[in-house]
Amino acid sequence: MHIIHNGTLVPGDWLKIPHNNKSFRYGIGCFETMRLQANEIPLFYWHWQRLSAGIAALQFKLLNPLSEASLLLQIRQLCGINNCELSARIRITLYANTTLLSDDNFADYIIEASPSDAFSDSSDEAIRMDVFYNNKKAVDSFSNLKISNYLHNSMAVLFAKQNGLQDMFVVNSFNEIIETTTSNIIVVKDGILFTPGLKAGPVNGVMLQWLKENLDIKESTITESVLAEADEIILTNAMGLKRVTMFRDKVFEDKIVYDALWNLVAVTLFR
């Protein structure tokens, strides 16, 4: 497998990060994960907007400037080299290439592309969840972005693994449920769709943005009781949709809205 580093195609094991690199030491960076299907990235516009916001927020100065068009061209080139043009998982990572905290944030970028399963219905997959309170996500100017420092999510994933769960709901500093470790959330009650607002601190998810443009999804505060009383809980991210099958002792059997959303995404985005 190959990667692209600052616009140059190199073997996947070529890159060496110095031990005193500022991103390695302090987690200074941003990233995007994208789904490519049939050599297209249907949500690319939203990915580029969020990536650009991350670059601005981190005050990154790219030594090899990126544009929306050049990034897409490089992704397609890499997928061709790695033989994954039909269905791929793409990741672009931007990281500071300096050492001192006081240094300007000059940055490099890496593009990765690996084969992925085609978009498919995962409604039969068991996803059991609980709420993770041990670490709480701060609500600040970075909350809605994909920032490299994912300590709280990493600890939540570890907790899920240790307790036989597939994912965890993440809370902000006000104990509001805002997302999971990998996804945005849509709660369904009596046919009405709810999701936390951006002011509560969730990642500004690209799939959720697209769904909001096509459906009536209301912003609301999500709590444990809201989850317990829900008819369905749907998880969304750039790779697709999943449905929660159990929250604590409650089993979710309904999937009417999930099926409708899945069909909409399958027909419109990932044909």
For residue 123, the model assigns a pLDDT of 82
> Do β-strands 128-137 and 246-247 pair in parallel, antiparallel, or remain unpaired?
parallel
pLDDT by 10s per residue, the chain, length 271: 999 999 999 999 999 999 999 999 999 999 999 999 999 999 999 999 999 999 999 999 998 889 999 999 999 999 999 999 999 999 999 999 999 888 899 999 999 999 999 888 888 899 999 999 999 999 999 999 999 998 999 999 999 999 999 999 999 999 999 999 999 999 999 999 999 999 999 999 999 999 999 999 999 999 999 999 999 999 999 999 999 999 999 999 999 999 999 999 999 999 7
pLDDT of residue 189: 97
Distance CA 105, CA 20 (A): 14
Q: Report the pLDDT value the prediction gives residue 61, as an integer from 0 to 100.
A: 95
How confident is the model at residue 118, as a pLDDT? Answer: 87
CA angle (21, 24, 26) in 5-degree steps: 100
Q: CA-CA distances (angstroms) from residue 241 to 31, 246, 260?
A: 20, 16, 11
pLDDT of residue 162: 97
pLDDT of residue 138: 94
pTM: 0.95
Which structure tokens are listed for 172?
A: 């902000």
In whole angstroms, what is the distance from residue 193 CA to residue 217 CA?
5
Instruction: Quote the pLDDT of residue 64.
Output: 87
Residue closest to 240 by CA, chosen among 212, 222, 263, 216 = 263
In angstroms, the CA 207 to CA 199 distance is 18
Q: What are phi and psi of 44, to 5 degrees?
A: -60, -40
